Structure 1
Amino acid sequence: MDPDVRLFAEVTRVVEPVEMRAAVRETYGPADLSSVPVFAGGFINFGYWRSIDLAGPLTVDDRVRSQEDMYRQVLDAAGPLAGRRIVEIGCGLGVGCALALREYRPERVTGMDIHPQQLDRARRANADLLETSPSALRFVRGAAEEMPFGDGEFDCVYSVEAAQHFDDVIAFTREAARVLRPGGRVVVASFFTPDDDPGHGARLASYLETFADGLDVARPVTLVADAFTRVGLTDARAVSIGPDVWQGWDRWLSDQWEPGTWPRNFLKAYEQRTLDYYIVTATRPQV
């Protein structure tokens, strides 16, 4: 084996992943959320819909493009990635990793997920890439709160719609800071509450099933941004992209779910200022 490939294949920090909550284990294991038609193309995100005409009928191609565009928003926020080493936390089927490799030309992409069944699916979905570019792509099991990587291993840590599942978002921010190289950047896209009103969690659980059953956890976006600052990262910012997420997501759902059914309540939560979608960024200072 080529020495560089062998080095890349090694996991530099052996840790035991934290136990998954039952809802996470079931949803991304036997239930296989990636196979649900609303998440066409193997992506699992609500989509970034700015470039898509919501006035007319929506196609599966539109839906896939919305999810790809969400990844592009995240990867664009990371800055130039050509020749860099990047890691996706909560990679699912790894289709976002493949997009990053194809469009942004990093040196190496690592997809990390806590769920072994998702990693098996990711390796199958990306079998051709893994065979033809073994030094450019790998998939590793690990938890956001305790990553199996060495200090300063990556130029970019990014996560797309997974942070709402993390058991300990503060621990995630510490780990993200640890595995970033000086000058590296972390980018997180997910849905959070817009402030620390303690009533948000109960309200969300009352009309959104995923908050009621423990799959999603209600946290204020300020918790994440402030935590990045506390662990020593700089320029922490949280930017709402809700106007380009919620209307398109609800419009896509409208062909499959009736008004008043719980998935349609994501738009309701946004309109009531109980939930929003954000991109959160921060940078590890240069030494």
Structure 2
Amino acid sequence: MRSVVRETYGPADLSGEPIFAGGFINFGYWSAADLVAPLDEAVRVRSQEDLYRQVLGTVGPLGERTILEVGCGLGMGCALALREFAPAAVTGMDIHPEQLKRARDTHAGLLGREAARLRFARGAAEDMPFADGEFGAVISVEAVQHFPDLDAFAAQTSRVLRPGGRVAVAGFFTVDDAPGRPAELAGLLETYANGLDIARPVTALTDALTAAGLVDTRAESIGRHVWPGWDLWLSRWWAPGTWPRNFLRAYEQRILDYYLVTAARREDGERPTPRR
């Protein structure tokens, strides 16, 4: 585990910060929000739930599938998946032991009632502790910007998906591979300057998924549904020109965008020869 990830998600419960609310840790999908009216906590929580709904909706129908969430945090998305999408089972995986303890504590009652359908496990995106073909769907919501090796993540995702399984990843990437992008983002955003977020183009993920043998790989920009609402919510605590408000600035300057990336494993289970 990288030290900056350990420090950010370990000592304090980041999901307890008012900017996140509801136990989620994501920027939100705000298409249902009235961005002219004042935003309250209920609207904020819905934005975070709606981001999961967008992701889960791309890998369905889920009635007979088992789901793996990579980077599950407190497991709020896992609980939403069980509640609203009725999959066969959900596994939440996170690299951070303190996050997993919080997830198990938060959902102790649900774990008791749904012991056969919900579990939490420790593992890295690049080294998943699961059997080949164990899952019908793999999702990851706003964790991919922390993964140090997208090729390894893609290879592991392809390995644990069963034939016909699907993957959906929501996260933010640079809009292209111009060499100056990392420096631009480090100058605008503290999380890029300290290394918590890693600046890479979205093609780094789509190419990795394709090279790992997945097909129908697509990247859809959903930034228009993320950045304006997130910035308006941040304005409750942060003034214009402060670094968290620069996410919207980076989007408007066509440096950074938010994407929903999807792919599938072929029904016949075949994979190409790995690239060297």
Q: Give the TM bin, normalised by the shorter chain.
A: over 0.9
- 1:120 maps to a residue whose letter is K
In the alignment, what sits opposite 1:246? 227
Q: d(CA) in 1 for partners of 2:195 and 2:141?
A: 19
Deviations 1:30-56 (A, max 9, x none): 032111110000100000000010101
Alignment of 1:106-255 (within 5 A): 106-255=87-236
SS of the residue aligned with 1:187?
strand
The alignment partner of 2:132 has SS state of coil
Shift of 1:80: 0.5
Give the whole-Å Cα distance in 2 for the aligned partners of 1:197 and 1:80.
Answer: 38
Cross-structure match for 1:7:
none
Is 1:74 paired with 2:55? yes
Matched, 1:94 2:75: yes
Instruction: Specify every segment of 5 or more residues in structure 1 that has no aligned partner in the other structure, as ranges.
Output: 1-19
1:98 Cα deviation after fit: 0.1
RMSD value, Cα: 0.6
Measure the CA separation in 1 of the matches of 2:199 and 2:249: 15
Counterpart among 265, 277, 280 of residue 246 in structure 2: 265
Whole-Å separation in 2 of the counterparts to 1:38 and 1:21: 24
Give the residue type in structure 1 aligned to 2:257: D
**Partners of 1:218 and 1:188 in 2: how far apart?**
16
TM-score (norm 1): 0.93
Shift of 1:57: 0.5
- Letter of the structure 1 residue corresponding to residue 202 of structure 2: V
Question: Percent sequence identity over matched residues?
Answer: 66
Work out the CA distance in 1 between the residues paired with 2:23 and 2:114: 21
Query: Aligned letter for 1:67?
Result: Q
Gaps of 5+ in 2: 269-276
Structure 1 residue identity aligned to 2:256: L
SS for the counterpart of 2:218 is strand
Q: Deviation above 6 Å: which 4+ runs of structure 1?
A: none
Equivalent residue, structure 2, for 1:37: 18
State the match for 1:21 in structure 2: 2
Q: What is the CA-CA distance between 1:108 and the residue it aligns to? A: 0.4
Distance 1:37 1:127 in 2: 23
**C-alpha separation in 2, matches of 1:270 and 1:203:** 12
Q: TM-score, normalised by structure 2?
A: 0.96
Aligned with 2:39 (options 48, 51, 58): 58
Residue 20 of structure 2 aligns with an amino acid whose one-letter code is F
1:256 is matched with 237
Deviations 1:154-183 (A, max 9, x none): 000000000000011110000000000000
Deviations 1:130-166 (Å, cap 9, x if unpaired)?
0011001000000000000000000000000000000
Cα distance in structure 1, aligned partners of 2:265 and 2:252 = 34
SS in 2 for 1:182: strand
